[in-house]
Amino acid sequence: MTSALCGCMTSILTYETYKSVVVRSWPLGIVYRLVQLIIISYFVGYVFLYEKAYQVADTATESSVITKVKGFGKLNNAVMDVADYIYPPQGEGVFSIITKIIKTDNQFQGICSEVTHSEQFRHTEKEFNCSTNADCQQHLGSVQADGIITGACNTSAGYCEIEGWCPAEDDKVDIKPMPEFVNFTIYIKNSIRFPLFNVTRANFPSTKTVNNCTYDKNTDPFCPIFRVGYILDETQQNVTLLANQGGEIGINIEWRCNLDHDVKFCVPKYSFSKLDAPFQNAKGYNFRFAKYYKTENGTDYRRLHKAFAVRFDVMVTGTARKFSLIPTVINVIAAVTSIGMGTVLCDLILLHCLKGAQYYKEKKFEEVSEEQIHESLTPKPGSQLSIRRGNSSCNDSGAVSLSTNC
Ligand SMILES: *[C@@H]1O[C@H](CO)[C@@H](O)[C@H](O)[C@H]1NC(C)=O
């Protein structure tokens, strides 16, 4: 009874540790240390230093953009100021600078004939030539016309008749775009907040006087005033074509802040992109708007503008990072665990590829057969397995114990 209790206590109050096989092999040792070195340098160099895995990142930024354009240009001998060429006028992050306007004056509600459209905007179904009413019947419901197709043919003009704002717009006129727009300046006010760290930054220091600077990525990279021509050069635009057809330009403001450093190093980086580059056949950008008037006797009429414009999209992206304990601990543990990968690889080499693999295998894995167990239970002097097993009755760990007497 007491001996059974004693045995039980002994087996509970033991510490088990793993037995190691030391292999004195230079090549294997080199491979082992090399693998460890690679793993350590991966974690230290890439995971910690490059990817900064010890930091937590905030990408859910709150940002606002206000823009203001300045400059004067001449279109059809008329001086254009901001109110004439900026659309919409509120100074948003997305705005257009109109470079060319085709105006259609004195449009009244009524019935008139279609016109030919300029080459650039001609679709096959957009041509409304006719000689009989039947030619026009097929265009009923067309969305390409300038008004509702009535189905009748105006034989004297040779075009289908429409009901809508008349006369129909003729965009074949050749208008020289406003060339001065390359000298306009765009002032961008951008503020960004990283809610996780409660840090707010502006794209220029409040102490900086910004009235007479111009952005240049080399000489003045923090000036918030951009010359349109500079942006177009950066995106390698054909300025003449752009002024004629319109286009889309992206102004990217990128914030990458490492808040482990002083917050004054949290500054924006500007870059510019051609947003309509993926479109081969649908290049350009234009839109229409109208201004409405009343005649003396109360009839409405309007002036239609077809505006070709360069549209600017100011896009803000931001990431802020700062040291945090949890990712650090997790990644350190991952690193330490991964160092053990060296053992797996070396074991494979040791047990399968090296000369004498069979011998190593025998050293590493001790095989116990039932016969031997039987033998060990009835020990003979001089037996190979004479290591005494603890007189265990509830020992379930199966470990060979080097026990002292209780
Ligand atoms: C832009 O400004 C420069 C210098 O002020 C001037 O030489 C140039 O002619 C201007 N460009 C256009 C298209 O007006």
206 and 343 fall within a common domain = no
Does some domain include residue 41?
yes
d(CA 399, CA 248): 74
- Kindly report whether the peptide bond that precedes residue 268 is cis, defined as omega within 30 degrees of 0: no
Does some domain include residue 268?
yes
Tokens 């543990």, located at residue? 333
18 and 90 fall within a common domain = no
Angle at 318 between CA 313 and CA 319, to 5 degrees: 160
Mean pLDDT of 177-189: 93
The answer for residues whose C-beta is within 8 angstroms of residue 3's C-beta and 6 or more apart is 391, 406
Does some domain include residue 7?
no
**pLDDT on residue 354:** 77
pTM: 0.74
Q: Which of 180, 181, 228, 242 to mutate to test ligand 1, by most ligand atoms within 8 A of the CB atom?
A: 180
d(CA 307, CA 277): 20
The HSE-up count of residue 262 (CA atoms within 13 Å, CB side) is 2
Shortest-distance Cα residue to atom 6 of ligand 1: 183
The CA 368 to ligand 1 mean position distance, Å, reads 93
276-304 residues labelled b (16+ CB within 10 A) or e (exposed): beeeeeebbbbeeeeeeeeeeeeeeebeb
Domain end, chosen from 166, 184, 203, is at: 166
Is 69 annotated to bind a ligand? Reply is: yes
Does some domain include residue 377?
no
Q: Which of 70, 72, 183, 232 to mutate to test ligand 1, by most ligand atoms within 8 A of the CB atom?
A: 183
219 and 131 fall within a common domain = no
Domain count, the chain: 3
Is 286 annotated to bind a ligand? Reply is: yes
The CA 356 to ligand 1 mean position distance, Å, reads 83
Q: Which residues line ligand 1 (CB under 6 A)?
A: 179-180, 182-183
From the CA of 179, give the closest atom in ligand 1: 13
Range of the domain at 128: 115-166
CATH number at residue 248: 2.60.490.10
pLDDT tens digits for range 213-246: 899 999 988 899 999 999 999 998 888 888 988 9
pLDDT tens digits for range 103-117: 999 999 999 998 877
32 and 66 fall within a common domain = no
Shortest-distance Cα residue to atom 12 of ligand 1: 180
86 and 221 fall within a common domain = yes
Mean pLDDT of 21-33: 85
**pLDDT on residue 378:** 73
With a cut of 70, say whether residue 376 has pLDDT above it: yes
Domain end, chosen from 147, 166, 185, is at: 166
Does some domain include residue 379?
no
209 and 92 fall within a common domain = yes
Does some domain include residue 110?
no
The CA 192 to ligand 1 mean position distance, Å, reads 34
**pLDDT on residue 218:** 92
In this prediction, residue 392 has a pLDDT band, given cuts at 50, 70 and 90, of very low
245 and 305 fall within a common domain = yes
What radius of gyration, in Å, describes the C-alpha atoms of the chain? Answer: 40
157 and 288 fall within a common domain = no
From the CA of 182, give the closest atom in ligand 1: 13
Does some domain include residue 378?
no
From the CA of 73, give the closest atom in ligand 1: 14
The CA 185 to ligand 1 mean position distance, Å, reads 12
184 and 120 fall within a common domain = no
Mean pLDDT of 261-284: 86
The overall average pLDDT reported for the chain is: 85
With a cut of 70, say whether residue 285 has pLDDT above it: yes
Does some domain include residue 108?
no
365 and 221 fall within a common domain = no
Shortest-distance Cα residue to atom 7 of ligand 1: 183
CATH number at residue 331: 1.10.287.940
331 and 318 fall within a common domain = no
348 and 319 fall within a common domain = no
Assign 3-class secondary structure to 54-74.
CEEEECCCEEEEEEEEECCEE
